[in-house]
Structure 1
Amino acid sequence: MTETQQAKSDADQPENAPKSRWERFVQPGDGTALGIWFFWHVATYIYMVLAAPGRTEAPLLDRLTPWDAENFITIAQYGYAGSPGMTDAPKLVAFFPGLPLLLRDLHWLVPNYDVLIVLVSFVGSAVVAVALSRLGNSYKEGAGTWTVLAFFLSPFAVFMWAGYSEAPFLALAIPAWLLARRGRWEWAAVCAAFASSIRISGLFLALGLAVMFLVAENGFRANWRKLPWLAVPGLPVVAYMIFLKVTVGEWMAWNSAQAQYWGRYPEDPIQALVNTWNRSLEESVLQTSYREEILAAFVLVALILWQLFRRQWADFAYLLPQAVALLAMSSFYMSVGRASLLWWPLFIGIGIAAVRNRWTFMAYVAVAAPVMMINVGNFTTGAWVG
């Protein structure tokens, strides 16, 4: 067929010709997002290997599955009673059951729990890349790729391939947000429910979705009969609290465990900031990490104020409870940096700014990427918990 014949053939096709099943499933930008995800993994694995000499001799897999990963695996294997002889088993109730249950259900497929939890994060982060690209493009065409780049180059991106809960949570939470923006409230609620089975942050997500439902044109005014679906994300949390009441005797045992083992209890926000700064002076090994926590806290506050100024009520409702939990419900800042991975309005904002001005994005990369690699080295050599 000549080019002229081909052009005529293309012109004869109706503008709204039905798309193939593949075209309906795959969207522009998905391949680029997965490319970023893949090569980011390659780069971080290389750096993890290069950072090890003189710092750790631990096997490669052990460097990806420390601390929280060990707790998730213990729950999957033995339940919340812990392994035989485990003296601090009561702390396990601080971890929600969604990820351990997933590990238990998939154990028949991958017998090694360490490999399995890393694979869960690996696949989950791929879902995050595609969903974040689509979400970014839904705010501004062309912002998706920049949003994904900003996310995977962020200072705390190491937790997207470690055996932690960030990747599986975001693999459900970001699609929930995207589905809600498209008016598919039932599916958004279902995704959010699975997310809340993994982290209490799922309740913050549910609040953001509820506010979006109230203010969006495709929300309450057009679909008020779907209002009951907004209660679905809270069901896994209620179920877990009932389980704790029956087995431990306390509805909020997960919160009590966090207070006892991690110092997460209500504190004056100013005092929590002072405590964190003092820790950065006292502990030389973790000095950098504590100061990163402080910087992350300031970024969160600035982000919330920015959403308030722009009247982005759903984003504001999602982020504000996180600030309360992280900055006022702990005696010092802990895991604030890790939690920054959950602040997708931040990365979308960076993506939109990159579309408008590439130099803005280059300035972000110049700061974020080196810190990210330092954190990869520290985390995988046991010098930092996160």
Structure 2
Amino acid sequence: MPMSTPHAPPRKPTPSAQRGRRSSHDRRPLEHLHQWLSAADREVLWLYLLTRVGIWTTAGAVGWLFPPNRTDRIPRSFLTVWQQWDWWHFLHIAQGGYFPNHTGPWTPGWDNREAFFPGFPLTLRAVHTLIPHWAASGALISLVSGAVAALTLARIARHHLTDPDSGRRTALFFLLSPCAVFLAAGYTEALFLALALPAWHAAQHHKWPAAAVLTTLSCSVRVTGLFLASALLLHFFLTGREHRSWRAAPWLALPALPPALYFWYLHVHTGDWMAWKHAQERGWYRDFHTPWEAWANTWTAAFGHTQPTGNALMWQAELLAMLAGIALLVLLVRRRHFPEALYLGLTLYALGTSYWYTSIPRSTLLWWPLWIVLAGWSLRRPRVQALYFYAAGPLTTIVAITFLTGRWAG
């Protein structure tokens, strides 16, 4: 019987081999990320980073050029210039809640903070547990959210347009929009888009539960999420039978939950089921007026010499943004993009039936069909891209400086 050759004991890996194994294991997450992001995706993220550098450079320059006092020898800090207007409402909610020490609408000088949905303040409070500086926490939320939004917008554009350059071009139009500064500020636009655009992208691929959950989260950030939920519902019913599963239909009711819970919470503390709307009316004149009354009041503020010149210019921008929205709405209806038209139509109705227009230029950031339409137009007519950039460049800088210096920006 032949004897078996004894096996040699296993050799212990050398330190260099162990380091090699660890480094290859450590590289796996990066490799997975590299595989998940296509070359087109990576280009969009690169453009996003470059535009962030441009906006941050502008913010740094504002801190030096526009000190609170002309005789100051020390510039304002980089983060200080970002703490403007609505930021203080989000900060106060994150720090003390909606009704600290039993204060509320019955308190003289109340800031009407219940006009803001809780999604962003809750996120801000959560991030603050890791980052001590409140403004830095808000900037980080917008930085990450803006990257998700730009990347998803490019993917949605590639779904609609056949040109391989469509995603990059759409993202570039979006990132250089006149109100792009609000994607970097501690505001709700970036966080909302980071939830709403993936929701719409999921709906395009008929992933209804994922789309409903993401839309639900967006409804906790802005009331605009309800408009997105309406568009999602219409998109579901217009989808072909082969892609529509009635089992997924109950998911589409989920987005109503965050607003319902928030309104119930406000009712418990104020006794008013309409506390959110009444706060909007007290603080921002958003009581109902017919569209023609709202247009007339905004026109008077813009051109009637009743406001300081800076404010009048902002109201002129409100009028232009409304006209752009109406033109886009007509185009979407003509192209039979009815879900997107419903989303935009509800947005324009909500913004266009107050005493006067407020925040419509900012709202253009949320009109993702606008950036896709512009990109498609520029692919057919190359001069459109040059004209847009020549016009948007100065406007983007002007709006950024206006906001960062506290002179209002819509």
TM exceeding 0.5: yes
Higher relative contact order (CA 8 A, sep 6+): 1
| Partner in structure 2 of residue 255 of structure 1 | 277
Contact 1:179 1:188 survives alignment (8 Å): yes
* 1:294 aligned partner, one-letter code: L
* Larger mean Cα displacement after TM superposition, 144-153 or 57-66: 57-66
The gaps in structure 2 that reach 5 residues or longer are: 1-30, 69-75
Aligned partners of 2:249 and 2:84: how far apart in 1? 41
- C-alpha distance 23-380 of structure 1, shift in aligned 2 (>3 A): closer
| Aligned counterpart for 1:166 among listed residues 169, 189, 207 | 189
CA RMSD of aligned residues (A): 1.9
| Partner in structure 1 of residue 385 of structure 2 | 361
Where does 1:13-92 land on structure 2 (aligned, <5 Å)?
A: 21-22=32-33, 25-57=36-68, 58-82=76-100, 87-89=108-110, 91-92=112-113
Could you tell me how far 1:103 is from its partner in structure 2?
A: 1.5
| Partner in structure 2 of residue 4 of structure 1 | none
Aligned residues: 365
Aligned partners of 1:84 and 1:243: how far apart in 2? 14
Could you tell me how far 1:33 is from its partner in structure 2?
A: 1.0
- C-alpha distance 37-97 of structure 1, shift in aligned 2 (>3 A): same
Could you tell me how far 1:170 is from its partner in structure 2?
A: 0.4
Is residue 2:146 matched to residue 1:125?
Answer: yes
Larger Cα Rg: Structure 1 or Structure 2? 2
Aligned partners of 2:156 and 2:212: how far apart in 1? 17
With the length of structure 1 as denominator, give the TM-score of the two structures: 0.90
With the length of structure 2 as denominator, give the TM-score of the two structures: 0.85
| Aligned counterpart for 1:151 among listed residues 155, 158, 174 | 174
Q: Secondary structure at the match of 1:101?
A: helix
- C-alpha distance 262-23 of structure 1, shift in aligned 2 (>3 A): same
* 1:29 aligned partner, one-letter code: A
Aligned partners of 1:285 and 1:22: how far apart in 2? 46
Aligned partners of 2:380 and 2:84: how far apart in 1? 40
Aligned partners of 1:272 and 1:248: how far apart in 2? 29
Contact 2:84 2:403 survives alignment (8 Å): no
Q: Secondary structure at the match of 2:244?
A: helix
| Partner in structure 2 of residue 320 of structure 1 | 345
| Partner in structure 2 of residue 223 of structure 1 | 245
* 2:389 aligned partner, one-letter code: V
Contact 2:169 2:375 survives alignment (8 Å): yes
The gaps in structure 1 that reach 5 residues or longer are: 1-19
- C-alpha distance 89-301 of structure 1, shift in aligned 2 (>3 A): same
Contact 2:114 2:276 survives alignment (8 Å): yes
Aligned partners of 2:235 and 2:339: how far apart in 1? 5
- C-alpha distance 334-178 of structure 1, shift in aligned 2 (>3 A): same
Aligned partners of 2:405 and 2:282: how far apart in 1? 27
Q: Secondary structure at the match of 2:257?
A: helix
Q: Secondary structure at the match of 1:56?
A: coil
Q: Secondary structure at the match of 2:267?
A: helix
| Aligned counterpart for 2:318 among listed residues 293, 296, 299 | 293
